[in-house]
Structures are given as C-alpha cells and as structure tokens.
Amino acid sequence: MGSVKKSLDRKLAAIHADPSGCQEFILADAKDADMAFGVGAPGRSPEMHAGEVRFRTLADYREQIRQIVRQGLVDIMLMSASTNDLLTIRERLFDTSHVTPAARANDASDIHVVRGGMYAQEPSRPFRTATIDQIQCGRVECSLAERVAGANLGLYSVTFNNRLDEDLASLEEYRRFRVEAEKKGFRHFWEVFDPNSPEGLSPEQIPQFVSDCIVRALAGVPAAGRPLFLKIVYHGPKAMEELVSYDPQLVVGILGGSAGTTYDAFKLLSEAQKYGARVALFGRKINSAECQLAFVAFLRRIVDGEVKPEEAVRAYHGVLQKLGIKPHRSLDDDMQFQTGVMSYSRSSVAVPAKISRASSPTLTGQGHGGVAARAGAAGAGQGGGHSSSPPLTKGGHGGVAAGGDHASCGCGGTEPSQCTCESKSPAPPTGLPDFSKMTPAEKLAYNKAKRDKIFGG
C-alpha cells in the first residue's frame, strides 16, 4: 500500500486517547452489496421500461467507488473481495488516498438475499467465501511482503438469534477467524446484526440482548484480537449510551439499514453521534442517493457540526436542482422520517414510527443559505484526513460541481451547466404515459412503487 497516512488510523488514535471529549467521527461507504443481493446489488438503473426492473452494472458500481474514494470525504471504503482485488491490488486506487480499503471477510447465510431465495429467513449460519490471504494479496497464500498489497481491514458479521446451537457455531467460527487474523496481522471490525430468526425474544428485548451478546463475546478477547470498532443497528439513545458508557474504549458504529428518505439518513447520523456513536457505515442510503457525491458531502458536514440534518436536506435538494438532477421525492416528502429510534421511548428499529414532519422552515428562494453553495462541489484533496471538512469549491477530485455524479447520470462536463443528465427532463405526464416518448428519468418515476417493493423506499 502507499505511504499516505490513513485518516482512519489517526481518528481511532484520537478517540482512544480521549473517548469522552474527542469529536472525531469515522464515515464509511459500504459498497459490498454484491456479496448479498446478486444482480441487484449496484442499485436501480434509470434505463428501464414500464413493467420491468433494470439494475446498474457492476462496472457502474465500481466506478462510483472510484469517484467517492477520489472525493476523499469518507474514511473507509468497504468492498467485496473481488472488487478489492481489482481496485486495491490491481489498480492501486488507495495508494495515494487517505481512505482505507476494507473487504467483507465473511458472508453468513442471513445476507444471502437473492431473488426467490429463502435463506435470510432461516437462523444465520456462518460462512466465508473469501480468505484473509485473498483479501490481502489476491491469492490463497501470501508471502509476508505480499500481505500489504491489498486491504488489511475486513468486516466480519455475526447474527445472534438466542438459539444455542446456531449462536455457538457462529461464535466458534468468529473465534477461528480472529485467531487466523491475529497470526496474519489482519485487522477487522465486527458487525452484529439484530436477530433474523429470534427465539423467545420480544422486540423490546432485542437491544439489550444484542448489547449483552457483544459484551459477553468480547470479554474473552485480549487487545490483539479485538475488533477496531463495532457496526450495529442503532436502537436509540438509551441503548447507545448504555453500550458506550460500559467500555469507553469500545468504539461503537452504526449501520445504515434500508434507503429511506434523505431526512431518515441525515437524522439517524446526527442522533447516533449525539449519543456516543463514533462510526457510521451507510450502504444502501448512499447507493440509493440521486447524487452520491453530494450526499456523502452532507454526511461529512453533519458529523463535523457544520449543518443540521433539516438544513442539510433542504441544501441537498438545492444541489440536485442546480445540477438538473430530478429527486426521487419532493422536498416535502423527503423531509419526513419513518425511523422509530430517535427518542428514549423507542426501543428498536423494528418498531415503526408514525411518519412525522421534520421541524424546519419552509423552503424559499434563499432557504438554502450558504450550505448548498458550499456543497455544490464535493471535491476534496486526498491528503491526511479531514478533522474539518475542506471547502467545497470547484475542482478537487470527483467534485459535484466538477461534473456531477457521472456514474449515476452520465454527466461529462466540468461545470454544472455542462451536465447533460437525462434526469433534467420534465416530470412524467399524468394518466397513461406513452412509454416510447418517456425519458429514463420519467420511467424511473413511473416505476418507483414497483422498485420500492424490491429494495424499499
């Protein structure tokens, strides 16, 4: 790997040095969905016709990874082992970047989400496709020198279901992985999902059950074998504060879950940080965004304390308007949230909340303030991290203003006015449309309800 200092290492050191006072926050983009969803992993494509669902290609997916890494606002890029082999080992994408490459180190049965499949409904069973050596050097066996060629960070996931045999099997496989990782100098972070097929657990018990399983499992693991941080479902303030205060040296991160509204994503990030989370790994929330580079830029500004979630949603829509990108939802709809974990009265994300309106002023001609202008270009240098976000100005690497979200909308210019995104076309006509005359963006809007049944809104 290159000699550029990774922002992840700097931030983890600062967090451990001052767990209660440090304001550093680690952002990760989880682009490992091809180890779960199959053909649909890259997300929905606007190139479709009525009655069909068409997805982006794997090449599109990987190009978006390149752009987000060059943008430089995330600290970790999580990929499948095959994508890591291409981008990290062969293309050397991360050599001159402060972004740390990571690969999914296991793919247990509960993330086997294929069309027509029933695997995710069964109690999770441990499984690993990739080996540590394959992640580190792209082959079954690595020499000591070759171990620095690829990623040296992996995500290992476990799902506890309160089922003795299955849970013990998962713990045993995790123990084997940790022993091998320690021998090979391979670092990991630990994802603990909520039960996918629980035995004898009410929804109210799940947050405490998951936290206790985490604490109990790590009690027998010395420092050399422990995960760098956790990736868990955000169960609300009470559960987060309890876990964080139990062991200040245990760095807790949250997973993003389903796509949801833009406000869902921004508010979840802000609330989790407020109550002790120091890491966020958003996969579908980023991948489903109309402009991923702008979306990531606002995630960074939220955790850096520069903008509130409500203001960020309005400003994000301002950027989309400036770039001529049609939003998935109106601003009014995108300012709603559906997640029931924002107060102490809610216990689990599995409990739906009544959709409520975000408290925010009405959008006017000047409602975006300076935030939309600053986020108009999400480019940033690839230097040693970003304790404070760099100015969002023209130029930079992969900036929004410097051509926009090329992978998702085909823009090729260097200024927003040169962006030829097909999503600039007018809204879909009312009544029965003439599909032969519809643009891809109009077809996208027309088929939204059908696609949401596959990946959620």
For residues 224 and 182, the answer to whether their CB atoms sit within 8 Å is yes
Percentage of residues in the chain having pLDDT higher than 90: 68
Local confidence band at 120 (pLDDT 50, 70, 90 cut-offs): very high
pLDDT number for residue 445:
56
Residue 285: per-residue pLDDT? 93
189-198, 273-282, 355-364, 384-393: least confidently modelled range: 355-364
Largest CA distance in the chain: 65
pTM for the structure as a whole: 0.78
Q: Tokens 């990571």 sit at which residue?
A: 102
pLDDT of res. 410: 34
- Residue 441's pLDDT is 57
* Residue bearing tokens 């003439």: 434
Q: Mean pLDDT throughout 229-240?
A: 97
pLDDT at 378 over 60: no
pLDDT given at position 442: 57
Cβ atoms 371, 301 nearer than 8 A: yes
Number of H helices, E strands in the chain: 16, 10
pLDDT at residue 399 is higher than 70:
no
pLDDT above 70: residue 360: no
Count of residues in the chain: 457
Task: Give residue 235's pLDDT.
Answer: 96
Indicate if the pLDDT at residue 171 is higher than 70: yes
Q: Which of 377, 416, 387 is nearest to 70 (CA)?
A: 377
For residues 312 and 298, is the Cβ–Cβ distance under 8 A? yes
In the predicted structure, residue 411 carries a pLDDT above the cut 80? no
Are the CB atoms for 302 and 270 separated by under 8 Å? yes
Burial of 160 (0-12, 13-18, 19+ CB in 10 A): buried
**pLDDT(100) > 90:** yes
C-alpha–C-alpha distance, residues 418 and 401, integer Å: 10
Res 387 pLDDT > 50: no
Question: How many Å from the N-terminal Cα to the C-terminal Cα in the chain?
Answer: 38
Quickly count: other Cβ atoms within 10 Å of residue 352's Cβ. Answer: 10
Average pLDDT of the residues in 78-100: 98
pLDDT of 149 higher than 80: yes
Please write the tens of the pLDDT for every residue from 37-59.
989 999 887 565 555 668 899 99
Contact 199, 159 (CB under 8 A): no
Question: Please, what are the domains in the chain?
Answer: 7-455 (3.20.20.70)
Asked if pLDDT for residue 286 goes beyond 70, the answer is yes
Q: Any residues with CB less than 8 A from the CB of 301 and at least 6 apart, and which? A: 307, 312, 371, 374, 375, 389
- Closest-CA residue to 323 (of 423, 392, 407): 423
Tokens standing for residue 223: 């420092």
CA 85 to each of CA 139, 218, 328: distance values in angstroms, whole numbers, following the listed order? 9, 30, 33
Share of the chain above pLDDT 70, in %: 72
